Structure 1
Amino acid sequence: MNKLFSFFITAALISGCAGTRQIRSVTASLKDMYKNDFLIGAAVSWQQVEGKDPAAFNLISRQFNTITPENIMKEEELRPAWGEYDFSRADRFIDFAKAHHLQVNGHTLIWHSQMPAFARSIESVDSFRTFFTDHIRKVAGRYSGKVQSWDVVNEALNEDGTLRKSPFLNKLGDNYIADAFKLTNEVSPGTDLYYNDYNNEQPEKRAGCIALIKKIQQAGVRIDGVGIQGHWHVGKVPFKEIEESILEYAALGIKVAITELDIEVLPRNFTGAEVSQQMKTETNSNPYVKELPETVQKQIADDYGRLFKLLLKHKDKIARVTFWGVHDGQSWLNDWPIPGRTNYPLLFDRNGKPKPAFYSVIAASKR
């Protein structure tokens, strides 16, 4: 289907629909519409790899050309005990990607959260460094040539741009990030290497992120890109800061990726994606249990459309845009920062049907 025909179908659906109820089928593909611009991806769960999510099955290969393991490749998933590795699920994920002709972004080698329990109890600096070094060498080495990129280090910065006092910083010192990139490059030289964080489009944290990238570069260590996670809130997407960040990061000679994109619609009293933060359930905590009001549906569609127009403006600097989930039912925002809520942050609903936001993103490609 050519772009012009897709556009007419899209326009008819947008003008005629009242919410998602009248949208019957997907007539366009994100990966096709943006094939000359940047990769389009989604975070994929173990349930989806197993084929137990019918709503996602057809969407994954139809809509996306790259996938990220939502949890499958994190440290706690791969390291059941000291000296032991379990690659069974990660290997299945790689096989799934190959079978569906999808590129892979590995996520993530070094992250202070979702560490295996045994690693948190390591007291010896030498033993902790062994854990750190062996993990990178074994994991990145095993999947060398099988992943297109790695989020080498994830969320190492505080909101003010200083280094987070994680077990890695406390045990290994402030050179651990450059060391992680160096080790990954040694065992996986053909893989793009990224630093990934949330809120690093905000000026203070962005400045810290730029300083961190420069330090890695000045150490003579390869870093190919920075991931801006993109966990934003409807009606409050920081477009000005996003554009400034794209320009400033690209000026360092690296690629930019939007790595964990979702636009939240539920009330929250803080920004970002710090998984340790929680909120108490209140009367208005879960306002859209049955459906999303048309006004909010329109706002999230407008936000997504404006965002993709901005990304297209700087497509020469953008390598990839990855949504953090395939459809609303999978989204981590249903259970964080309050468990059991009904959120609507993605382009497809719980049945895998396209929302107005999907068609807004498709329409943005008509420039």
Structure 2
Amino acid sequence: MSIFILILSVFFTFYSCNSHKNAVDNSGKYKLSLKNAFKDNFYIGTALNAWQITGRQPEELKVATQNFNSIVAENIMKSAQIQPKEGKFNFELADKFVKLGEENDMHIHGHTLIWHSQAPDWFFTGKDGNTVSEEVLIQRIRDHIHTVVGRYKGRVHSWDVVNEAIEDDGSYRDSKFYQILGEDFIKLAFEFAHEADPEAKLYYNDYSMAVPEKRRGVVRMVERLKNDNVQIDGIGMQGHIGLKHPDIMEFEKSLEAYGNLVKVMITELDLSVLPSPWGDAGAEISDNYEYDDKMNPFPDELPAYVEKQFTKRYVEFFELFLKHHDKIERVTLWGVNDGNSWKNNWPVRGRIDYPLLFDRKNQAKPVVNELITLAEVK
């Protein structure tokens, strides 16, 4: 009997030690999540789609809540989705999105209030079928912003008030908003958003923000707003980057220029490994191209040598973000994993891309450990 007890004692001691070891390992993994690694520098965020918000992709949602402390809705808060008909608002998914963020103690960002690309047609058209007057459009902008921002007052912490209003040459985009109201539509949108929630942070967001001409145009626009005492708290630099574009030195120049005016957000960050039809970093969503095998070089998996380039490029950009962490409030990835990235279908439908930090099986790529190590060293 004593020998049997001795054997049991040894067994349970061994089991206990291994259980303790596993507990320590799990704790260590938790401590090395992305959000914990960067918590002293900036929010690390991700965009959520409707399936994730409604719980239809629980594994992806688990990745999001474990690794990110800020969320933005990919599409459901854009004006065409949230007010498809005048005065008919659909807040079902937006409410779930905000509740999800609150339940997980996350920074919640609203995207986007005024954007030409996904604005409903009724915004600009009267009952007679003609273009509306200045007065009518101003009232519609006011009503939309007051209703949406007002509903989430004190709950949504920041908003992209205006999205993509400046062309790459620095001029104003010739959108319906601009055609009817001129550049004043930007000022009005920020004023209405501030009226609806005086505590919310208000941002301007755009792509190709490293282009020198665009940089100058955005700086002029923001300086004009500030001179008119309009509240603008930050600029979102969309991070739709590739292996060779944009030039990281130009990106830094823009980051510094914007950071001298307001805070900077790195938004919509993804790194395409695929060739671009036009060879630059533009993100004009209306541009689409026919499928061609040469534009889809990695249909089955990403070669190891490309994975190394991918990791190196991400690390270079995060080194830049950490260098300027005093200017940056948030770095947000545009999606949770490769499988639900918009880059698989844009600008060429049917392609397979690998632009995010987690693969299609929700596993962290090698770049994740590299970024965590970088944050610890810094």
The 8 Å contact of residues 204 and 234 in structure 2, kept in 1 or not, is answered as yes
What residue number does 1:45 align with?
49
The 8 Å contact of residues 347 and 357 in structure 1, kept in 2 or not, is answered as yes
For residues 271 and 249 of structure 2, the distance between their equivalents in structure 1, rounded to whole angstroms, comes to 16
What amino acid sits opposite 2:119 in the alignment? M
Q: 2:291 aligns with which of 268, 273, 281?
A: 281
The 8 Å contact of residues 230 and 261 in structure 1, kept in 2 or not, is answered as yes
Bigger mean CA deviation after superposition, 189-198 or 236-245: 236-245
**Are residue 228 (structure 1) and residue 232 (structure 2) matched?**
no
1:217-264 deviation per Cα after TM superposition (whole angstroms, max 9, x unaligned): 011111000000010111334210121112111212x10010110010
What residue number does 2:180 align with?
171
For residues 357 and 26 of structure 1, the distance between their equivalents in structure 2, rounded to whole angstroms, comes to 17
Aligned length: 345
| Secondary structure of residue in 1 paired with 2:335 | coil
Q: CA deviation at 1:60?
A: 1.0
What amino acid sits opposite 2:342 in the alignment? W
What residue number does 2:15 align with?
none
1:311-334 deviation per Cα after TM superposition (whole angstroms, max 9, x unaligned): 101111110000000110110001
The 8 Å contact of residues 266 and 330 in structure 2, kept in 1 or not, is answered as yes
What residue number does 1:209 align with?
218
1:19-66 deviation per Cα after TM superposition (whole angstroms, max 9, x unaligned): xxxxxx887211100000000000001100111113312111110000
The 8 Å contact of residues 55 and 350 in structure 1, kept in 2 or not, is answered as no
For residues 296 and 90 of structure 1, the distance between their equivalents in structure 2, rounded to whole angstroms, comes to 37
For residues 82 and 255 of structure 1, the distance between their equivalents in structure 2, rounded to whole angstroms, comes to 34
For residues 239 and 75 of structure 1, the distance between their equivalents in structure 2, rounded to whole angstroms, comes to 33
1:111-159 deviation per Cα after TM superposition (whole angstroms, max 9, x unaligned): 0011123224341213222221111111111111111110000000111
What residue number does 2:209 align with?
200
What residue number does 1:90 align with?
94
| Secondary structure of residue in 2 paired with 1:230 | strand
For residues 57 and 107 of structure 1, the distance between their equivalents in structure 2, rounded to whole angstroms, comes to 19
For residues 351 and 272 of structure 2, the distance between their equivalents in structure 1, rounded to whole angstroms, comes to 12
What residue number does 1:338 align with?
348
Bigger mean CA deviation after superposition, 262-271 or 211-220: 262-271
For residues 58 and 73 of structure 1, the distance between their equivalents in structure 2, rounded to whole angstroms, comes to 22
**Are residue 66 (structure 1) and residue 76 (structure 2) matched?**
no
Structure number, greater radius of gyration: 2
**Are residue 33 (structure 1) and residue 37 (structure 2) matched?**
yes
Q: CA RMSD in A?
A: 1.6
The 8 Å contact of residues 38 and 315 in structure 1, kept in 2 or not, is answered as yes
What residue number does 1:267 align with?
275
What residue number does 1:306 align with?
316
1:76-119 deviation per Cα after TM superposition (whole angstroms, max 9, x unaligned): 11112112111111111111111111111100000001112322
Bigger mean CA deviation after superposition, 217-226 or 114-123: 114-123
Bigger mean CA deviation after superposition, 255-264 or 265-274: 265-274
Q: CA deviation at 1:364?
A: 1.7
The 8 Å contact of residues 359 and 365 in structure 2, kept in 1 or not, is answered as yes
Q: 1:180 aligns with which of 182, 186, 189?
A: 189
For residues 217 and 26 of structure 1, the distance between their equivalents in structure 2, rounded to whole angstroms, comes to 42
For residues 334 and 28 of structure 1, the distance between their equivalents in structure 2, rounded to whole angstroms, comes to 29
Against the structure 1 CA distance between its residues 113 and 343, is the aligned structure 2 distance closer, same or farther, given a 3 Å change threshold?
A: same
For residues 285 and 349 of structure 2, the distance between their equivalents in structure 1, rounded to whole angstroms, comes to 12
The 8 Å contact of residues 103 and 148 in structure 1, kept in 2 or not, is answered as yes
More contact order relative to length (CA 8 Å, sep ≥ 6): 1
For residues 87 and 164 of structure 1, the distance between their equivalents in structure 2, rounded to whole angstroms, comes to 29
What residue number does 1:251 align with?
260
**More helix by percentage:** 2
In the TM superposition, 1:35-184 aligns within 5 A as 35-122=39-126, 123-125=131-133, 126-184=135-193
The 8 Å contact of residues 306 and 364 in structure 1, kept in 2 or not, is answered as no
For residues 253 and 229 of structure 2, the distance between their equivalents in structure 1, rounded to whole angstroms, comes to 26
Q: Give the TM-score taking structure 1 as reference length.
A: 0.91
Q: Give the TM-score taking structure 2 as reference length.
A: 0.88
Q: 2:339 aligns with which of 304, 309, 329?
A: 329
What amino acid sits opposite 1:180 in the alignment? A
What residue number does 2:18 align with?
none
What residue number does 1:348 align with?
358
**Are residue 238 (structure 1) and residue 242 (structure 2) matched?**
no
For residues 26 and 54 of structure 1, the distance between their equivalents in structure 2, rounded to whole angstroms, comes to 18
Q: CA deviation at 1:362?
A: 1.5
What amino acid sits opposite 2:69 in the alignment? N
Bigger mean CA deviation after superposition, 208-217 or 281-290: 281-290
